[in-house]
Structure 1
Amino acid sequence: MKVYVTGTGVISSLGNSTKEMFGSLIEGKSAVRPIPAWNDLNGLNCRLAAPAAPYDNRILPRTVRRTMSPMSEMTALATQQALTEAGLSVQEMDFSKSLLSVGSTTGSPIGLEEYFQKISENKGVQGQSGTAFFKVMNHSVASNVAVALGFNGAVISPSSACATSAQAVILGWELIKAGLYDIAICGGADELHYLSVAVFDSVYAASRGYHDSPSATPRPFDKKRDGLIVSEGASIVILESEHSVAKRGGKPLAEFLGGAYRCESSHMSQSNEVQMHHVMTAALERSGITKDQVEYVSAHATGTMQGDAAEAIAIGNLFGKQVPVSSLKGHFGHSMAACGVGELIASMQMMNEGLLIGTRNLEEVAPECDTVMHLQANRKANANITLSNNFAFGGINTSFIIKKI
């Protein structure tokens, strides 16, 4: 049984629709800018970020918004986009055969700061809002989106940091293939907060050297890369069984061939090229294709010294220099839980438009990354099958494969 992507939705640093986001990628735009409010934070070495484009949360009813932080708002809006593109109505869904698989790295960091700040100031729980917990619980995004949609089907909330939405969509594919569901709403979201930046900053993984030239960072695979830039947003796809698509006369946008997730258990933050290789080969096996059929690789590469090198080695060991490779993090920044599905959507657009997007800010390939065919500029190409990687702290590695219709 085939599984198709039938709808997409995006709130991102490069635009608030699939069309707007991809247009920004074609133009080579950078979303990175200074965040002046962070200048007075002691110990924070990175004061750049890639905020989401402004969006109108008033589209959502006030009764729904009161339990939402920005990441829940963004996900609800992205989900509405995806359902509209798919031609689906939640009210008409068979909830016994429908799944919502959406997650985030943590509960709202904005909400968590406010929550504990009040505890500190008031020396207790006095003054806490009655809706505070609904913003900070780990499944906040999934629950809030379900309430906003009136969705009564199965809900799962993966939380695997930067691999969250990739794992969410692979889970959706697995459960549709198993025959448990016909439709899966899959994705992830994170909101921008300095605590997220501080996590990467503390392990020397955030960019520090480009405050005078923000658009010059991050620099995936580049000799002068010095770390990642945190972004935010939400990305959603609708997965659907071929039976469901045929029954309702839906229009497939791409075929989701399959994916895999594996744990690298030797280190919490250092990537391992051997395990990266293993998860890519597992994705190929589960998708029923060979490495020679892959025509583009969407790399996770965030601009970190160790991570980019490990991924380049892993991809090179599998594909050599036969397949074009690029990372979109130089445009977007790193949207953490949203990045996997966001890059899936961008890869779909590339295949449909016959245009591969090059890695922004990749001016001189670092010697340790010179193991693959790097795309340093946009290139016209008729790629039919794409492999996409996402790797996360805690050793969570993911890889999935999509095919042009």
Structure 2
Amino acid sequence: MASSRPPELLITGLGVTSAIGQGKSDFTSALLAGRHAFGVMQRPGRQKGTSFLGAEVPSLSLPERFTKRLLRTLSFSGQVALATLQEAWDEAQLSTVDPSRIGLVVGGSNLQQRELLQTHESYGDQLDFLRPTYGLSFLDSDLSGLCTEQFGIRGFGYTIGGASASGQLAVLQAAEAVRSGQVDVCLAMGGLMDLSYMELQGLRALGAMGSDRYADDPARACRPFDKGRDGFIYGEGCGVIVIERAEHAIQRQVRPYASVVGWGLAMDANRNPNPSCEGEVRVIRQALERAGLSPEEIDYINPHGTGSGIGDETELQALRECGLLAARINATKSITGHGLTAAGAVEIVATLLQMRASQLHPTRNLEDPMDVEFNWVRGEAEPHDMHRALSLSMGFGGVNTAICLQRV
């Protein structure tokens, strides 16, 4: 197969925060055990005479280097961004890298919606008392500005929006920036999209978010690829991935997780939330061709797998058309929930942690699979010597992305 393989790009650091655990160690343990945190959400600003289901981060530990004065000015999304980036930064030993050669791409826009709603409710009738930081927090540049300031990043920093594909889209853009020589190292973040009851109600009204069927049984509500699914279940999360050229990683003697060998990005020319099999097939084939891999060489797939009616159906159709029936497959969202802008990054982190552990996490609630021909990991974790993985992420507005990762 013809290949246009880019220079070797390595992933050398990971950071993760989710409802099932903060940090790689806790996250991996919970993931492999299939532990969840689904329930009726309790965070202020999430309910208004409602009982939306989801998974919320129970507590957040922040490094002492971030002062209480700073933290008081930050939204929850900002606090999670700093904590998650710190983990990836330390693992990749980025304090030894020229800050002018480090870049940051934050995946996600409109990340601080709950914070903004609460501000409107608190200060709408007393504008003179509005905190000056509101003039920053409503801008998409706020998280990238915060992170570049706190970590001294001087290469570039920007946000990129692709709805639920934002996290993986950030990884693709980071890979392009390193491949082109724009920077030596680039951090890709899938930011925590902090939803208020307004966004949650909008997603329910669209028919995208569940769950009516399991309203009284939150543990059973999130069920990607199961015939009993009735929509996605939200889950707070943030993931950070560090990408750099192999020669730079070798110089610093950092241990890589994998190499990024291929990726694909395509639009459906469609504003609406409905997916396109043709678009998903295109990005899968782009990623495989760029990686120089055949479908038979992929031994693991981390799908988008939200639990939506048409979305799961379309994704399995695309995988079938691309000849990807044999690879092992599980659904990370069945454990973490759907992190929206964070999802693609968190699921790449989950893929790489499974690769390193040589184990695959279970798919919760996969009681009656939509298609039994796929090589599902169901109720329990299973050993698997993963060599080449494919991760998929799609977003409202017709965004399709795919990435191929190879063990090094």
TM-score, scaled relative to structure 2? 0.92
Q: Any idea what SS the aligned residue of 2:160 has?
A: coil
2:399 alignment partner AA = I
Whether contact under 8 Å (2:270, 2:397) holds in the other structure is no
Judged with a 3 Å threshold, the aligned counterparts in structure 2 of structure 1 residues 72 and 103 are, in CA distance, closer, same or farther, namely farther
CA separation in 2, counterparts of 1:118 and 1:54?
Answer: 24
| CA offsets 1:76-109 (integer angstroms, 9 cap, x no match) | 11111111111221xx432332111113231411
User: Could you tell me how far 1:58 is from its partner in structure 2?
Assistant: 6.8
Judged with a 3 Å threshold, the aligned counterparts in structure 2 of structure 1 residues 308 and 193 are, in CA distance, closer, same or farther, namely same
Please state if 1:97 is matched with 2:104.
no
Out of 152, 155, 163, which is 2:154 matched to? 152
| CA offsets 1:293-330 (integer angstroms, 9 cap, x no match) | 11111011111101011111111111242112221111
Judged with a 3 Å threshold, the aligned counterparts in structure 2 of structure 1 residues 38 and 216 are, in CA distance, closer, same or farther, namely farther
Please state if 1:400 is matched with 2:403.
yes
Judged with a 3 Å threshold, the aligned counterparts in structure 2 of structure 1 residues 198 and 105 are, in CA distance, closer, same or farther, namely farther
CA separation in 1, counterparts of 2:248 and 2:106?
Answer: 21
Whether contact under 8 Å (1:68, 1:144) holds in the other structure is no
CA separation in 2, counterparts of 1:300 and 1:30?
Answer: 18
| CA offsets 1:152-171 (integer angstroms, 9 cap, x no match) | 22112112121111011111
- Tell me the residue number matched to 1:211: 215
1:281 alignment partner AA = R
- Tell me the residue number matched to 2:84: 78
- Tell me the residue number matched to 1:143: 145
Q: Any idea what SS the aligned residue of 1:157 has?
A: strand
CA separation in 1, counterparts of 2:189 and 2:373?
Answer: 31
- Tell me the residue number matched to 2:204: 201
Q: Any idea what SS the aligned residue of 2:272 has?
A: coil
CA separation in 2, counterparts of 1:161 and 1:194?
Answer: 18
CA separation in 1, counterparts of 2:373 and 2:392?
Answer: 16
- Report the identity percentage: 24
Q: Any idea what SS the aligned residue of 1:181 has?
A: coil
Number of corresponding residues: 397
User: Could you tell me how far 1:394 is from its partner in structure 2?
Assistant: 1.0
- Tell me the residue number matched to 1:35: 41
Out of 53, 58, 70, which is 1:48 matched to? 53
Unaligned ranges ≥5, structure 1: none
Q: Any idea what SS the aligned residue of 2:232 has?
A: coil
- Tell me the residue number matched to 2:3: none
Whether contact under 8 Å (1:192, 1:231) holds in the other structure is no
Whether contact under 8 Å (1:313, 1:371) holds in the other structure is no
Out of 52, 66, 70, which is 1:64 matched to? 70
Whether contact under 8 Å (1:163, 1:396) holds in the other structure is yes
Whether contact under 8 Å (1:95, 1:154) holds in the other structure is no
- Tell me the residue number matched to 1:274: 278
Query: CA-atom RMSD, angstroms?
Result: 1.9
Out of 9, 13, 24, which is 1:7 matched to? 13
Q: Any idea what SS the aligned residue of 2:242 has?
A: strand
User: Could you tell me how far 1:202 is from its partner in structure 2?
Assistant: 1.4
- Tell me the residue number matched to 1:387: 390
CA separation in 2, counterparts of 1:38 and 1:128?
Answer: 18
- Tell me the residue number matched to 1:248: 252
Whether contact under 8 Å (1:260, 1:283) holds in the other structure is yes
- Tell me the residue number matched to 1:342: 346
1:47 alignment partner AA = F
1:382 alignment partner AA = D
- Tell me the residue number matched to 1:166: 168
Please state if 1:223 is matched with 2:227.
yes
CA separation in 2, counterparts of 1:159 and 1:343?
Answer: 17
CA separation in 1, counterparts of 2:373 and 2:97?
Answer: 47
Whether contact under 8 Å (2:92, 2:254) holds in the other structure is yes
Q: Any idea what SS the aligned residue of 2:234 has?
A: coil
Whether contact under 8 Å (2:117, 2:196) holds in the other structure is no
CA separation in 2, counterparts of 1:71 and 1:35?
Answer: 17
Please state if 1:117 is matched with 2:121.
yes
User: Could you tell me how far 1:350 is from its partner in structure 2?
Assistant: 1.3
TM-score, scaled relative to structure 1? 0.93
| CA offsets 1:197-218 (integer angstroms, 9 cap, x no match) | 2232111111122121111121
| CA offsets 1:162-189 (integer angstroms, 9 cap, x no match) | 1111011111111111122210011111
2:152 alignment partner AA = G
| CA offsets 1:346-373 (integer angstroms, 9 cap, x no match) | 111112222122321110012xx45633
Whether contact under 8 Å (2:33, 2:362) holds in the other structure is no
Judged with a 3 Å threshold, the aligned counterparts in structure 2 of structure 1 residues 194 and 370 are, in CA distance, closer, same or farther, namely farther
- Tell me the residue number matched to 1:332: 336
Q: Any idea what SS the aligned residue of 1:164 has?
A: helix
Judged with a 3 Å threshold, the aligned counterparts in structure 2 of structure 1 residues 205 and 396 are, in CA distance, closer, same or farther, namely same
Unaligned ranges ≥5, structure 2: 1-6
CA separation in 2, counterparts of 1:19 and 1:40?
Answer: 32
